[in-house]
Structure 1
Amino acid sequence: MPNDPDDESGRHSGGSGSGAGSGRPGGGDSGTPDGFPFGDPQQMADMLRQFADMMSAQPSPGGGGGASPSSTSGINWDMAKNIARHTVSQHGDPSIPPHDYAKVEEALRLADLWLDQATDLPSGVHTAQAWSRSEWIEKTMDSWAQLCDPLTSKTVQAMGQNLPEEMQSVAGPLLGMVQQMGGMMVGQQAGQAIGELAREVTGTTDIGLPLAGEGNAALLPPGVARFSEGLEIPDDEVRLYLAAREAAVHRLYSHVPWLRSHVSRLVEEYAAGMSFDVSGLEDKLGEIDLTNPEALQEALSGGVGGESLFQPEDTPQQKAALGRLETALALIEGWVATVVTAAVADRLPQANALAETTRRRRATGGPAEHTFAALVGLELRPRRLREASALWSALERERGVEGRDAVWQHPDLMPTGADLDDPEAFVSGGEFGGADFDISTLTGEKPGDKPDDKPDDGGDAGTDRGEDA
């Protein structure tokens, strides 16, 4: 267990005085080896061991502690799941009553029928359910781990590999311990962020991905109620609108087999471009009491409203990848918005108000979404939603519903960021957009082949056309 800070106050006050073992660079301790910038090496080793003991000794809420990391990045996602469940249970998370379950199931089935008249893609809903927030966490955690691992692993690596050269030469084998502690901290933060997100989401597709897998549609009655606050719109109408959005996303991913891997690859490209500025790390560490494990944990994590010691900096590669990812998310969200509007416009009197509320929510994000963005260094938001919606609407006017949806047949047919700037050029022809374009030139299919006969899922396709300048 960590030492009592009160017992250490005379030794590392961090102020004036020259008490031995100061946690500041050049602490004035005559026993401090020359050239070591962060105090006594033995003292730092003891602190790191104390910190590791503190982290490993913390119980996992709702279960036993010390689960093995469930990812190659060193992030303990089992611990993250338990912390997320604990986060929602603190605010109360009752099971869904049977009558609420029935309302959600009926809304999902009815809204899915409405979509038949708005899109050429068939239904993608296999199960229609109502979940509590804890159930949402349990059934989406695998997707969060897969989505966030490329991002969080870069942060953990930076905690050891990107330290100043003089610290690496002294720390030596302690770097592995630093990374292990980093993995624990990021896992804790991920759990807290996902737990807060669970209190805001309305279903499995709020971020534009079916987090529980294709076909597993669900709404969270507490999230639907929270979405309804202040709208003065009947609950049944709100539920049906959100059900239509949930069902539309499942249609898209169920019948566009390359889409999930395409989005995942764009996230990986963004992570590959991440870089960390550690130029001021020594100065920041100099302001921290290194003999206090709690103080180091707060500094590494950023504390409450603070700035973490490891903040990603913008790089050209990262910016280019982010542009491609934001374009893909905008196209997904724009298609969903277009299809849902067509399906519910004549059925829900407040459809326009609900569409605008959803648009603002996706464009700005909520507090929990910002927290999660700070954790992984990425905001999964469709910044060009209006432009994407306008492009899909223009395609429908020019080519009809079938022609609009045919664009999803292959990633090389998809609009780019430049196409969002000039949608008319894309709609009227463009490189691939002509009405007489033969999809078999990209897929290798012969006319009349079934979609299931495609040679591959196209997950790595579309990079030539999909890249923004």
Structure 2
Amino acid sequence: MIARMLGGDAQGFDPQEIARAAGLPSDPQAMMMMMQQVQAMFSTPSEGPVNWQLAHDHARRVAATDNDPAVSPVQRRGVDEALRLAEMWLDPVTDFPSTGQVGRAWSRAEWVEATMGTWRRLTEPVATSIAKALSETISEQLPEEMKSMMGMMGGPSSMLQNIGGAMFGMQLGQAVGALSKDVVGSTDIGVPLSDEHMALLPSNVADFGKGLDVPEQEVMLFLAVREAAHARLFTQVPWLTGHLLGTIERYARGIHIDMSKIEEAARDIDPTNPESMQSALSQGVFMPERTPEQDAALERLETVLALVEGWVDELTAAATVNLPSSSALREMVRRRRATGGPAENAFASLVGLELRPRRLRDAASLWSLLFEERGIQGRDAIWEHPDLLPTAEDLDDPAGFSQRRRLVESSEADVDAALERLLSGDFDAPAAGAPGTPTSGTTGDADGADDGTAGDGDGDGTAGDGDGTAGGDGRPGSPS
């Protein structure tokens, strides 16, 4: 192309050297791949803050690397039987009834397809804030001449929206595709990713059990119990999913980005190596700097995630008590959830959120104590309302939870009683039994009628003898 541009007057210039100096690949196939990626990123308009189609396609490509075998009929039957048995094992250890959901066996690609809608819901608030911050930051830094030129091209905001939507879509696809190789079910990250479905990924379950001296069937059963426990919790506690997503939205409102990180990522991208873009994106190009308000939101999110995982951990241990490998598998899952893996780290880099329950063990201890104090029904009743949930302070001191809750309930009862007296007009009235206060049932009638009612003649609250003898002049009867 460069040779044709120069014609016969190249005068010693080597077109290949010029292309190499510009960072263009000399291999035509590599050049074509690079141009296809660039075209995909910028030619398709974004629907909102993220190019969701690009995110979906890239997630499927990443999931398909390193082989993604289709689920066989034998594997589907095995997963279905494991989830059915898991439901039976959970019935005696929780007050929440079975969900009646159909168990599914998914490949990685099927997991991407089934969960992409939830990923969109999870990341859209963050992406919106990032797109707004990116547009405002770059617009402020553009020279006036550049703003005028871009205004004739439709304005900087629309162009930046497409660019930002494409970059975030690529990053989201990379993170979701990487997670598809690591998760074993639909609730692995503590948030329900698929509505009305329990699911396991047989190939990932097999990878989970590698290196363990545990039969594959036991690994499948243990993970099936965890999946079914998650499903029961999120189905029978309808406010929980919205509460988690609302916490993420509160976090997203205050996002602002560090432009220097985007500049550093741009310097690290090698145009001759298509994988360099994925590598740069996985380092967290949009990693936001958190504010104190966001830190508070993240603490609440981490607490709820720990409570979810702690409850599931306790139920799974109780339901699988007769499984020989239960203790070893429980410890392995605890470490995996508390520390996270490369895929979860990729998602944390994407949105600045670490969806891992660092305090899983503290939460499990709290649920265990509540079971001992209140039984199954009392323990599970804690999920009735978000205001009843334990706090970070309760995770610090699980043993003191019940005492602190009684003090709070006592204080609330005093406030309710005072409010009721105020609304009824009795707030300023003397308390019962105070001097001059009529006692119940002893108010005399002032007329002293011969009706068998004790009359006191003066209505001062002093009971008469009630013998039917009333003074016609209204004189009080003798006290009884």
TM range (shorter): 0.7 to 0.9
In structure 2, the partner of 1:165 is 140
The answer for unaligned runs of 5 or more in structure 1 is 14-51, 60-64, 442-469
The worse-fitting range, judged by mean Cα deviation, of 251-260 and 170-179 is 170-179
Rounded Cα–Cα distance in structure 1 between residues aligned with 2:23 and 2:75: 57
Amino acid aligned to 2:310: G
Moved more, 164-173 or 140-149: 164-173
Matched, 1:423 2:398: yes
Whether the 8 Å CA contact 1:131–1:219 is kept in 2: the answer is yes
Corresponding residue number in structure 1 for 2:94: 119
Note if 1:335 corresponds to 2:311.
Answer: yes
Judged with a 3 Å threshold, the aligned counterparts in structure 2 of structure 1 residues 433 and 406 are, in CA distance, closer, same or farther, namely: farther
**Amino-acid identity (%):** 43
Contact 1:164/1:282 (<8 A) preserved: no
Q: For residues 111 and 12 of structure 1, do their structure 2 counterparts lie closer, same or farther at Cα, with a shift above 3 Å needed?
A: closer
User: Aligned letter for 1:229?
Assistant: K
Matched-pair contact (CA < 8 Å) for 1:185–1:301: no
The match for 2:18 among 7, 18, 24 is: 7
1:233-261 per-position Cα deviation (integer Å, ceiling 9, x unaligned): 00010000000000001100111010010
Shift of 1:54: 6.2
Aligned length: 387
1:95 to 66, 70, 74: 70
SS at match of 1:129: strand
Cα offset for 1:169? 4.0
For residues 84-116 of structure 1, give each alpha carbon's deviation from its aligned partner in whole angstroms, at most 9, with x where no partner exists. Answer: 112222322222111111111000000111000
Shift of 1:6: 5.0
1:277/1:432 CA distance change after superposition, 3 Å: farther
Deviation at 1:10, TM superposition (A): 6.4
Counterpart of 1:198 in structure 2: which amino acid? S
**Residue 227 of structure 1: aligned partner:** 208
Q: Which residue of 1 aligns with 2:249?
A: 268
Given candidates 370, 380, 385, the residue that maps to 1:410 is: 385
Q: Which segments of 5 or more consecutive residues in structure 2 lack a partner in the other structure?
A: 6-14, 25-33, 148-154, 417-480
Distance in 2, Cα, partners of 1:409 & 1:139: 29
CA distance in 2, matches of 1:185, 1:162: 16
Mapping 1:360-439, distance limit 5 Å: 360-430=335-405
Kept after mapping to 1: 8 A contact 2:313/2:330 = yes
> What do residues 59-100 of structure 1 show as CA deviations (whole Å, max 9, x unaligned)?
9xxxxx966645x32x12222122111222232222211111
Match of 2:156 in 1: 174
Shift of 1:288: 4.7
Taking a change above 3 Å as real, the CA distance of residues 101 and 166 of structure 1, as seen in their structure-2 partners, is closer
SS of the residue 1:209 aligns to: coil
Q: Larger relative contact order (C-alpha < 8 A, sep ≥ 6)? A: 1
Q: Does 2:291 align with 1:315? A: yes
What is residue 197 of structure 2 aligned with on the other side?
216
Q: Give the Å deviation of 1:314.
A: 2.2
CA distance in 1, matches of 2:21, 2:77: 64
**CA pair 260-6 structure 1, distance change in 2 beyond 3 A:** farther
Letter in 2 for 1:7: I
Structure of higher CA gyration radius? 2
TM-score, normalization by structure 2: 0.72
Q: Tell me: CA distance 1:164–1:67, structure 2 relative to 1, closer, same or farther (3 Å).
A: closer
Whether 1:188 aligns to 2:188 is no
**Which range moved further: 412-421 or 162-171?**
162-171
Structural RMSD (CA): 3.5
Distance 1:411 1:315 in 2: 24
Name the structure 2 match of 1:207.
189
